[in-house]
A and B are shown apart, each in its own frame.
Chain A
């Protein structure tokens, strides 16, 4: 078995991995290797052929493949090495990366620093507990997207979509353009988790009905799915009588949330955050395992790839500094949050520098103040017109706020009129 050394190993060649690689290169690191499971670089973007990417990062609206191509081009032009068709099977706390590829079988790399950028996957039927038979024709929206956009197969003609996440909305439009009929999009929550513009351009443009506070109560069909029973639910997501309907369909697409693909860490390598499903990290995206960094959707699920690139660049620069042996921060500040917030990333600060803290709220708020205090003193207050669980928010922490106050950081959301 081949063993070799590399100063920076990046697991995953999607938008996070490529952005981290480019940032590390720009920070002076030259010995970088990206390991990618698929046959090409680009990650999930290669199947996201719709537009809407890159407005923050590049100031123009790109399709998924176009966005990925920008980074792929940089990776190639800078001469950053990458292996494709290569799966990482394990990372140990001494930063040994075990991998396997069809070309060379198993091999091990002793890395100076590791960045994990393995993205996320969709919540499947098995995790949703939908009663009924187990016929064919039930797919996650992303699987259907791969079928249609990469393989050129239509999964069906009469479609029901459960969950109103962005991928589900995008697929509603895509399947309609390809000649299918999308009968309904069902959302168990009283609001959609997808972007307002996707409701508009993917559903309203084509007259596809969105049923909020509705879910599938039973799947029917023996060999192939024949239809779904649908119920209306109350605020506790329990079925209410009177709202039942039956929708015939030959395909059910699931767009019910994304889960970080964090198996490389969750086996005990690093401490995890039960809410995000990713690791607990500091401002540099370094986990509790020294020199092992996490970024992108494996850390927490982002709304926009632009934010993934931004976060990955932070990890890339920091991993390059670690591999170089730069002096490390020596503070230990925890980031706390109040009951209106679901999670914050990063969860801790180990070095006094300007940092953005990303967070998500639990419920929709029309009018609220986002308040940050350090060591019990309010350091920033920001008024927001609207906060929603589907939209990641940011608070900016300056080095000065941390230097002038001693103690932990607390982020809170105070709804207007309270």
Chain B
């Protein structure tokens, strides 16, 4: 039996979650979370951890546009996605909610505009 201690990152509360796993890596117990989201997080964290990616992309007019991933991206692919986004240019008129890259590097996450272009 293995035990893992996690800090939940789903909300600002930051619950300390204890996960117990069998020797084959099967999750047998999750404790310490105060909501269902925490359990989902702990399960993902012990099987295949993902993170929301937030960064910026260049607009055609040279300004920066804030973007986010529509869902979690596998942790080990974050730097690849950053690299991919360096070569992406968004239309000058891109609006909040517009998709800039669909299914980035096959991760299943879209890269979506999250705000207005900066100065």
Taking a contact as CB atoms under 8 Å apart, the answer to whether A49 and B56 are in contact is yes
B7 in contact with A63 (CB, 8 Å) = no
Interface residue total, chain B, C-beta cutoff 8 A: 29
A66-B115, A196-B7 given as contacts; is B56 within 8 A of A51 (CB)?
no
Contact B7–A200 (Cβ < 8 Å)? yes
A46/B115 in contact, CB under 8 A? yes
B115 A50 Cβ-Cβ under 8 A: no
B114 contacts which of A39, A52, A66 (Cβ < 8 Å)?
A66
Supply 21 A–B pairs (Cβ within 8 Å), ascending by A.
A42-B115, A49-B56, A49-B115, A50-B54, A51-B68, A61-B11, A65-B66, A65-B116, A66-B114, A66-B115, A150-B64, A152-B56, A152-B118, A177-B53, A177-B55, A195-B12, A197-B11, A197-B14, A199-B7, A205-B51, A304-B12
B96 interface neighbour in A49, A66, A178, A303, Cβ under 8 Å: A66
* Residue in chain B with minimal CB distance to A201: B9
Per the 8 Å Cβ criterion, residues 42-95 of B in contact with A are: 51-56, 58, 64, 66, 68, 75, 78-79, 82
A240 within 8 A of B: no
Chain A interface, DSSP helix/strand/loop, else mixed: helix
Query: Closest residue of chain A to B7, judged by CB?
Result: A200
Contacting residues, chain A, for B10 (C-beta < 8 A): 61, 197
Known: A68-B115, A152-B56, A200-B7. A205 touches B75 (CB 8 A): yes
> Could you tell me which A residues sit within 8 Å of B by CB distance?
39-40, 42, 46-47, 49-52, 55, 61, 63-66, 68-69, 148-152, 177-178, 195-197, 199-201, 205, 303-304
Residue of A nearest to B81 (CB): A177
B6 contacts across to A, CB distance below 8 A: 200
Q: Is the CB of A149 within 8 A of B68?
A: no
Is B109 an interface position by the 8 A CB rule? no
Docked complex Cα distance between A148 and B52 (Å): 19
Among B6, B16, B54, B79, chain A packs the most CB atoms within 10 A around the CB of: B54
Closest to B8 in A: A197
Closest to A196 in B: B14
Whether A65 and B114, one on each chain, are in contact in the complex, defined by CB atoms closer than 8 angstroms, is: yes
Residue of A nearest to B52 (CB): A51
The 8 closest A-B pairs by CB, nearest first: A65-B115, A196-B14, A150-B118, A49-B66, A197-B9, A200-B7, A197-B14, A63-B114
Report B-chain residues with C-beta under 8 Å of the C-beta of A47.
118
Among residues of B, the one whose C-beta sits closest to the C-beta of A391 is: B12
Residues of chain B within 8 A of A148, CB atoms compared: 56
The docked-state distance in angstroms from the alpha carbon of A225 to that of B32 is 44
Beyond the given pairs A65-B96, A150-B64, 19 more chain A to chain B contacts, judged by CB atoms under 8 angstroms and listed by A's residue number, are: A39-B119, A49-B54, A50-B54, A51-B52, A51-B68, A61-B11, A61-B52, A66-B68, A69-B115, A149-B66, A150-B118, A152-B64, A177-B53, A195-B14, A196-B16, A197-B8, A200-B6, A201-B9, A304-B12
Given the known interface contacts A63-B68, A196-B14, A303-B12, the answer about A46 and B55 at a Cβ–Cβ threshold of 8 Å is: no
Shortest Cβ distance from residue B115 to the other chain A in the assembled complex, whole angstroms: 2
Closest to B85 in A: A177
